[in-house]
Structure 1
Amino acid sequence: WVAENSDQTPWVEIDLLEDKLIGGVVTWPRGDGYKEHQYVKTFNIQYRAEGEAIFEYYMESGNIVVSTFVGNENVQDIVLNGFPEKIIARHVRLNILTFNNNPTIRLEILGC
């Protein structure tokens, strides 16, 4: 997934087609040898279950601050971000906070 260069608040949403128990997310940088190294450095997660109208931000229990996840720092490494507290969701949204060159990400949502 690659955001438009003009997008000031890039995000990508995954529809899992039904509610799933989710335990984390794996991210990769752009992997096609493109000369400009492109990857997402930090992001947060929003999610909602089937039938829910409003997205919730992922926060660890007892915390009033939205969790910020560290993504990639280079074009070689894969990054696993496990959720200390699992979520149930059909829709998972990654809001890109910081990135290198352009918001570009490959990702996998981890089920339990």
Structure 2
Amino acid sequence: CAWLSKFQDTNQWLQIDLKEVKVVSGILTQGRCDSDEWITKYTVQYRTNEKLSWIYYKDQTGNNRVFYGNSDRSSTVQNLLRPPIVARYIRILPLGWHTRIAIRMELLLCMNKCT
């Protein structure tokens, strides 16, 4: 009931292929449904196709933005992407976790105009 990383270090990532380029405006996360395991913070990378290099989502100062995740396994944490990103591929890179790297997640997509 969650993506579980085999290893517990900051070299792990979860990659999502949206199959086509989309506008992504946010990320929802939860921990593992049947155990006290979750991601507490993470960064995001994206790209529009497999031939391009990965781009880190940046904060207003140009640093890789750190998103804060969960503090329990069941609540949903929403992180909005302002500005939204245009991408086909998204990577979630865990920086901190409770017990073990585990995540349930959903991307928020813009179907019309994102503000």
Distance 1:46 1:6 in 2: 19
Q: Which residue does 2:93 correspond to in 1?
A: 95
- Report what 2:31 is aligned to: 29
Unaligned runs of 5+ in 1: none
Q: Is the partner of 1:105 in helix, strand or coil?
A: strand
Given the alignment of the two structures, is residue 40 of structure 1 paired with residue 39 of structure 2, yes or no? yes
Is there any run of 5+ residues in structure 2 with no aligned partner, and where?
111-115
Residues matched between the structures, number: 108
Distance (Å, rounded) in 2 between the aligned partners of 1:85 and 1:93: 17
**Once the 2 structures are TM-superposed, how far is the Cα of residue 19 of structure 1 from its aligned partner?**
0.2
For 1:1-112, list aligned pairs within 5 A.
1-5=3-7, 7-32=9-34, 34=35, 37-50=36-49, 52-60=51-59, 62-112=60-110
The two structures have a TM-score, normalised by structure 2, of: 0.87
Q: Deviations over 1:19-53 (max 9, x none)?
A: 00000100011012x3xx10000000000013642
RMSD across aligned positions (CA): 1.4
Quick one: percent identity of the two aligned structures?
30
